[in-house]
């Protein structure tokens, strides 16, 4: 079912019925969300109210108006010329563009005006904390965030429509890792920072995907809603924030309440720059607690794993075999694959593992070893002057140094919108 011709992806009529996917798989979702439920206080383990259910459902019909209008202008103006202006504005600011269109002006005037609630010191603190986990933290995020996230069957449909399987898990995980490092470097979300610029490009790519995928005759609006919707973007950013904090816990990296608050503050701003409506962001003062509550309610509204979920999860499980190791690639690939499956065993139940086509017999050996190692390392280091700063620098260096293993000889860059592949099936 295609979108009505009279409605664009960012102007769907509010009277439209909520997509069928919404609230369609609550029992399975409740079981799949148990890992997050254990992180919530008993008083916070409640299902959405009717108003909250409605907000989540309406979010499936909501896009990103400023970015969507910009994408419409880019297509109408000629993509090559439009991209030159957009890239100039991203790199040098709106003032560098002669006679910008109203759409270009509206988008950049908005993103260049930082919200009053943003605290620069907390952004930098959150970036430094993100380095604490090192390579183990990134493995944890790949499993608890990406692999477990493939349970969200309807979200996967947008990914599949842009050629995710054809592109391959290796390139996808490399690009995601590159963006994650870009945005979590201290100072990266300043106007001239690499993270800010990368996020603007990702936001515009999302708008192009909404336009391309939404026009495909195979896209079922009545069932799925809008591609890259507000509800799905909320789930994604909470996966990078609250789920990353959980991943650090699973691999034994101690994180203080102040550190958690800084990470959540950083990701609140990243999500805002990336087009998540401020009304759908976690509470500024409640931090991780609010994020976990929002994520739990969001998960309850989602449709759970299907055959496509299993294909994506299995491709991600095998992704370590395709990395560009400098030596002993055959051995390192299999060890890294075992590490990921070991983490999956710890954070997913048998039902979820089976639904994703992952083995249930794997032992959680890797997180057990990492908890012992990281608890010891962090206690010893933090007992010495400058120890915490050293831990952050050490972890960040591990993360940066791993990019060549993921990308190989190809430069670690994000795709241009022109590279977005849209399925014709």
pLDDT in tens, 271-286: 999 999 999 999 999 9
Residue 244 lies in a domain: yes
Domain that holds residue 331: 114-418
Residue 249 lies in a domain: yes
Q: Does residue 281 lie in a domain region?
A: yes
User: Which structure tokens are listed for 193?
Assistant: 């920072």
In-domain check, residue 276: yes
Residue 261 pLDDT > 90: yes
Averaged over 11-35, what is the pLDDT? 81
User: Taking all residues of the chain, what is their mean pLDDT, rounded to a whole number?
Assistant: 90
Give the CA distances from residue 254 to residues 95, 101, 126, 242, 248, in Å, rounded to whole numbers and listed in that order. 44, 49, 14, 15, 7
pLDDT score of 225 more than 50: yes
Q: How confident is the model at residue 398 (pLDDT cuts 50, 70, 90)?
A: very high
- When pLDDT is cut at 50, 70 and 90, the band that residue 40 belongs to is confident
Asked if residue 314 is part of any domain, the answer here is: yes
In a domain, 295, yes or no: yes
Question: Which pLDDT does position 409 carry in this prediction?
Answer: 74
417, pLDDT greater than 60? no
Does this model's pTM top 0.95?
A: no
15: Cβ–Cβ under 8 A, 6 or more apart, which residues?
none
- Measured CA to CA in angstroms, residue 75 lies from 70, 204, 211 at distances of 9, 12, 10
Find the mean pLDDT for residues 209-232. 94
In a domain, 1, yes or no: no
Mean pLDDT of the 46-67 span? 96
Sole residue written with tokens 């007992």: 383
Q: Buried b / exposed e across 293-330, counting CB within 10 Å, b at 16+? A: bbbbbbbbbbbbbbebbbbbbbbbbebbebbeeeeeee
Does residue 24 fall inside a structural domain? no
pLDDT in the model for residue 35: 82
Split into its structural domains, the chain has a count of 1
Q: Is 385 helix (H, G, I), strand (E, B) or coil?
A: coil
- Please tell me the chain's helix, strand, coil percentages from 3-state DSSP, rounded to the nearest 5: 65, 0, 35
Segment (H or E) for 309: helix 307-317
**Residue 18's pLDDT band (boundaries 50, 70, 90)?**
very high
Q: How far apart are CA 343 and CA 349, in angstroms?
A: 11
**pLDDT at residue number 15:** 42
Local confidence band at 7 (pLDDT 50, 70, 90 cut-offs): very low
pLDDT computed for residue 323 by the predictor: 94
pLDDT tier at 411 (50, 70, 90 boundaries)?
Answer: low
pLDDT of residue 412: 61
Residue 411: CB atoms within 10 Å: 9
Q: Which residue has the higher pLDDT, 190 or 424?
A: 190
């Amino acid at each position: 079912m295609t979108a009505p011709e009279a409605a664009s992806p960012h102007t769907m009529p509010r009277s439209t019925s909520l997509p069928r996917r919404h609230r369609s798989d609550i029992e399975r979702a409740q079981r799949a969300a148990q890992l997050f439920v254990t992180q919530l206080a008993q008083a916070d383990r409640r299902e959405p109210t009717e108003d909250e259910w409605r907000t989540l459902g309406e979010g499936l019909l909501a896009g990103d108006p400023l970015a969507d209008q910009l994408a419409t202008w880019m297509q109408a103006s000629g993509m090559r010329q439009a991209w030159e202006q957009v890239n100039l504005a991203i790199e040098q600011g709106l003032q560098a563009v002669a006679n910008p269109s109203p759409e270009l002006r509206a988008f950049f005037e908005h993103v260049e005006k930082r919200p009053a609630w943003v605290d620069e010191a907390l952004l930098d603190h959150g970036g430094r904390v993100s380095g604490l986990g090192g390579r183990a933290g990134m493995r944890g995020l790949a499993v608890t965030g990406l692999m477990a996230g493939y349970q969200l069957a309807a979200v996967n449909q947008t990914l599949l429509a842009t050629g995710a399987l054809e592109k391959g898990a290796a390139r996808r995980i490399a690009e995601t890792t590159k963006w994650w490092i870009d945005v979590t470097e201290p100072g990266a979300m300043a106007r001239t920072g690499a993270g800010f610029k990368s996020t603007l490009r990702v936001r515009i790519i999302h708008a192009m995907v909404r336009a391309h995928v939404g026009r495909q005759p195979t896209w079922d609006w009545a069932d799925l809603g809008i591609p890259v919707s507000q509800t799905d973007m909320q789930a994604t950013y909470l996966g990078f924030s609250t789920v990353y904090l959980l991943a650090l816990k699973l691999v034994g990296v101690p994180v203080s309440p102040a550190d958690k608050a800084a990470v959540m503050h950083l990701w609140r701003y990243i999500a805002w720059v990336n087009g998540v409506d401020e009304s759908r962001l976690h509470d500024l003062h409640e931090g991780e607690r609010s994020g976990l509550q929002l994520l739990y309610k969001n998960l309850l509204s989602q449709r759970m794993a299907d055959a496509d979920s299993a294909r994506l999860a299995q491709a991600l499980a095998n992704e370590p075999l395709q990395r560009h190791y400098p030596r002993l690639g055959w051995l390192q690939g299999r060890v890294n694959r075992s590490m990921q499956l070991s983490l999956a065993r710890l954070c997913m139940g048998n039902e979820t593992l089976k639904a994703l086509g992952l083995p249930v017999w794997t032992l959680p050996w890797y997180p057990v070893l990492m908890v012992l190692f990281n608890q010891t390392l962090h206690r010893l280091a933090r007992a010495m002057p400058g120890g915490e700063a050293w831990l952050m620098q050490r972890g960040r260096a591990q993360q940066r140094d791993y990019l060549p293993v993921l990308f190989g000889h190809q430069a670690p860059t994000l795709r241009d919108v022109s590279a977005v592949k849209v399925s014709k099936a």
